[in-house]
């Protein structure tokens, strides 16, 4: 693997019940294992920034989460607010209904608006693969690339969908070379992670990063 496994992990807690103690534990683990980022809800950005100060672990938040059905104005405002708090990466949910209705200009323009609001910082576009046909997945990836996204991502984890080898393979083959692919949801083991990485995932959204690294170490 050209990228170290730990630096592929977005260490994640997006649960409704997440309190300061959970964010403290998340950030302590992220520092211990030197993960790529912690992925948290916007409210927790200031705490995470403070806890991760002096490290290269990035702070990632979610936009339009988990449904993606907020208006573009609200998604942009969320992005601008998170940017001002120092957030490094933004995982936005597309408007799945608009995509399925064939409102491609709307979907593309909304992604572009969030990318512009992020002012050069990393934007990952969650397409919610569980709800899409393969043709719709391809279209969602194409629109994300056209809009200037840095990553396309499988799932929010708030629905039944999980990251699959099929979807990652399809997304990687569809995306332009400069746009990366993030697998998220259902990644519990090193075997899960390895299979997804082998077909093109360059980032993994998971709360099982420590377990995955331990299993990888055992297999050396």
Give catalytic residues, as residue numbers. 91, 153, 182
What's the per-residue H, E or C state across the chain?
A: CCCCHHHHEEEECCCCCCCHHHHHHHHHHHHHHCCCEEEECHHHHHHHHHHCCCCCCEEEEEECCCCCCCCHHHHHHHHHHHHHCCCCEEEEECCHHHHHCCCHHHHHHHHHHHHHHCCCCEEEEECCHHHCCHHHHHHHHHHHHHCCCCEEECCCCCCCCCCCHHHHHHHHHHCCCCCEEEEECCCCCHHHHHHHHHCCEEEEEECCHHHHHHHHHHCC
């Amino acid at each position: 693997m050209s990228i170290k496994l730990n630096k592929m992990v977005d260490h994640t807690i997006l649960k409704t019940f997440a309190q300061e103690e959970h964010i403290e534990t998340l950030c302590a683990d992220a520092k211990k294992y030197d993960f790529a980022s912690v992925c948290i809800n916007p409210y927790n950005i200031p705490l995470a920034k403070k806890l991760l100060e002096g490290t290269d672990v990035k702070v990632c938040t979610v936009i339009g989460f988990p449904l993606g059905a907020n208006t573009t104005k609200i998604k942009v405002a969320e992005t601008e607010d998170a940017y001002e708090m120092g957030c490094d990466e933004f995982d936005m949910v597309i408007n799945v209904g608009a995509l399925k209705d064939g409102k491609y200009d709307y979907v593309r323009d909304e992604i572009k608006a969030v990318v512009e609001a992020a002012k050069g910082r990393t934007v990952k576009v969650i397409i919610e693969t569980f709800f899409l046909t393969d043709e719709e997945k391809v279209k969602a990836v194409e629109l994300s690339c056209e809009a200037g996204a840095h990553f396309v991502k499988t799932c929010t984890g708030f629905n039944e969908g999980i990251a699959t080898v099929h979807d990652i393979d399809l997304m990687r083959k569809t995306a332009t070379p400069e746009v990366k692919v993030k697998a998220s949801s259902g990644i519990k083991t090193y075997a899960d992670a390895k299979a997804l990485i082998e077909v093109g995932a360059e980032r993994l959204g998971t709360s099982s990063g420590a377990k995955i690294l331990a299993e990888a170490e055992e297999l050396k």
